Structure 1
Amino acid sequence: MPTLSQIADGVYAAGQLHDEDLAELARQGVKVIVNNRPDGEEPGQPTAGHAAEVAAKHGMAYHYIPVGREGPTEQAVDQMAAVLKDAQGPLVAHCRSGARSTNIYQMARARLAGAR
C-alpha cells in the first residue's frame, strides 16, 4: 500500500491505490476515497469506474475528481470542496504521488474558509 501522508485531521493523501489498498483502507476505517488521477495516465492503472466498484463493495464513498498535470480547474476545486464539506469519516485522496491531491485539498480548504 502506498504511504499515507496526513494533510489534515482525518484527511490523507496517497499515491495510486489498487484493489488490495482499498480493501485495507476500509479495514482501517476510511469512509471516503477521492481519486484525483485522470484515467489512462499510466498503463495498467485501474480505471475510476473499476475503483468505484471496489470502494462501494467495501462500503466507502468514492469521488472521481481528476486533476491533470496542468493543475486543478475551478470546477475540480469546487467539487473537492463539496466532498470535504460533506465527508463522513476519514478521507483518502490519491493521484500518482499524492502531490496533486494535496494541492487540490489545500485549494478546496481555502475556498471553504473564504465562504464563511
Structure 2
Amino acid sequence: MDLRKIDDTISVSPQISVEDVAIAAQLGFKTIVANRPDHEEPGQPLMADIENAARVSGLEWVYMPVESGNITDGDVDRFAPMIRDAEKPVLAFCRSGTRCTILWALSAARTLPASDVVAKARNAGYDISGLAPRMAQQAG
C-alpha cells in the first residue's frame, strides 16, 4: 500500500487490496473512501470485497466512484460534505491517488487558500498546480 499523507485528516493511495484494509485499520484510519468505479480495468479488486473487509475491520466505508479525467462540480459537491463529516483520519483511494487528491483539493479550496492546498498535495507527491483556475472558482 502506497500511502500519501495530505494532512492529519486525509491520506490518499493508489488502488488498495482487500488485505490492505486490515493494515489501514491498524494504522488508525477510521474511514475508507473509494473513488474508483468497479471494472475500470481488468483485475482490480471488487469494491464489494473491499467494503466487506472495511466493515469487518470496523471502518466506515464510502463508495463514491468518479470517472477518471472527468471530475465534475457535482462530484466535488458530493465529496466536500462527505469528507468534512467523515470519521477521521480518512484513507481515500482510486487508480493512482490523483482523482482523490483532485476531489480533496477542489473541496478544500472552498475553505483554504489555494497555495496551501497546492503545497499539501505537492508534499503528498501530486502536482495540482494546473487546477488553480478551478480552485479559484470553488473559492468564489
Cα shift at 1:8: 2.0
User: For residue 54 of structure 1, what is the aligned residue in structure 2?
Assistant: 53
How many Å separate the matches in 1 of 2:60 and 2:86?
9
Cα shift at 1:112: 5.1
> Is residue 71–residue 100 contact of structure 1 (8 Å, CA) maintained in 2?
no
Unpaired runs of 5+ residues, structure 1, are: none
Matched, 1:63 2:62: yes
TM-score by length of 1: 0.88
Matched, 1:78 2:44: no
> Is residue 81–residue 112 contact of structure 1 (8 Å, CA) maintained in 2?
no
User: For residue 90 of structure 1, what is the aligned residue in structure 2?
Assistant: 89
User: For residue 103 of structure 2, what is the aligned residue in structure 1?
Assistant: 104
How many Å separate the matches in 2 of 1:66 and 1:35?
7
Structure number with larger C-alpha Rg: 2
Cα shift at 1:110: 2.1
Cα shift at 1:60: 0.7
Unpaired runs of 5+ residues, structure 2, are: 113-137
1:25-55 per-residue CA deviation (whole Å, 9 max, x = no partner) reads: 0011100111111110111212222211111
User: For residue 28 of structure 2, what is the aligned residue in structure 1?
Assistant: 29
What is the root-mean-square deviation of aligned Cα atoms in Å?
Answer: 1.7
Kindly, what percent of the aligned residue pairs are identical?
39
Instruction: List structure 1 runs of 4+ shifted beyond 6 angstroms.
Output: none
* Higher helix content, 1 or 2: 2
How many Å separate the matches in 2 of 1:22 and 1:97?
17
Aligned residue pairs, count: 114
**Larger relative contact order (C-alpha < 8 A, sep ≥ 6)?**
1
TM-score by length of 2: 0.74
Q: Secondary structure at the match of 1:51?
A: helix
